[in-house]
Amino acid sequence: MKYNKNYYLQLIEKYNNVSYFEEDPVAVVRLLSYEKDIEVMGVVASWVAFGNRKQIFKKCCELYNLMGCRPFDYLMSKQWMCYKDCNNNLYRMFVYSDFYCLMSSLYSVYERYDSLQKAIIDNGIASSDYLDALINLLPAKGIPKNKNSACKRLSLFLRWMVRTDGIVDLGIWKDMSPEKLIIPLDVHVHNTAKMLELTKRNQPDMKTAIEITNECKTLFPKDPVIMDYALFGAGYNQKNI
């Protein structure tokens, strides 16, 4: 690890701030207050969370409006059924029939459970099992079929739901532990982590995500994923030098 804890604390204090996330998918999730609305919108927003942040934010706003600003009611009223055979482009490689499949998977969860949190807890209690549970519960295009990849978007969704400081992340899932989360790893985070000597691995996969998370735990054992804000900040600073 290249720097001491104080360096990372300064980055976290600066960048764990909603002002840096005004055009970010989490900003759309934060518009909601009802837990099931947050869960559904969180799944949808993280599902499309790849590519340019402003484009992701724009698409999340469109999907929020498509769902009538009430994602859970939209889900349970099956309004998404009209997209079953629709091959019009939705976002990047997704078409609307992919959205139908995601909604269908979520609908099946809420038929059996009171909340997505309860479904995940019933399907696994270790950090990797949180991801396993989501993979098993939400079979759809764009959801990894296993943990060979870093599962960045699923880890991002879990960060939103589980981290409890309430600044950027919503922390509505009180029965799940932040210490069991894994860093949401993409190419940018991976490059920053290598720069900060949090990993020497060259492949941005699950092994690397876990290695980085374990390094973060040496500083923040109860909340390792708070380091995501330090990594974001370090990358942001590097980009704007």
Find how far residue 196's CA is from the centre of its chain.
Answer: 23
Other C-beta atoms within 10 Å of 102: how many?
23
Three-state secondary structure of the chain: CCCCHHHHHHHHHHHCCHHHHCCCHHHHHCCCCCHHHHHHHHHHHHHCCCCCHHHHHHHHHHHHHHCCCCHHHHHHCCHHHHHCCCCCEEECCEEHHHHHHHHHHHHHHHHHCCCHHHHHHHHCCCHHHHHHHHHHHCCCCCCCCCCCECCHHHHHHHHHHHCCCCCCCCCCCCCCCHHHCCCCCCHHHHHHHHHCCCCCCCCCEHHHHHHHHHHHHCCCCCCHHHHHHHHHHHHHHHHCC
Q: Which amino acid is at 161?
A: M
CB 183 within 8 Å of CB 155 = yes
> Which residues, 6 or more positions from 197, have their beta carbon under 8 angstroms from its beta carbon?
1, 2
pLDDT digits (tens, 9 = 90+) for 180-226: 999 999 999 999 999 999 999 999 999 999 999 999 999 999 999 99
pLDDT of residue 233: 92
The 10s digit of each residue's pLDDT in 59-74 is 999 999 999 999 999 9
HSE-up (13 A, CA, CB side) for residue 26: 21
pLDDT in tens, 89-146: 999 999 999 999 999 999 999 999 999 999 999 987 555 589 999 999 999 999 999 8
pTM of the model: 0.95
Task: Report how far residue 98's alpha carbon sits from residue 61's, in angstroms, rounded to the nearest whole number.
Answer: 18
pLDDT tens digits for 21-39?
999 999 999 999 999 999 9
Using alpha carbons, select from 36, 27, 40 the residue that is nearest to residue 67. 40
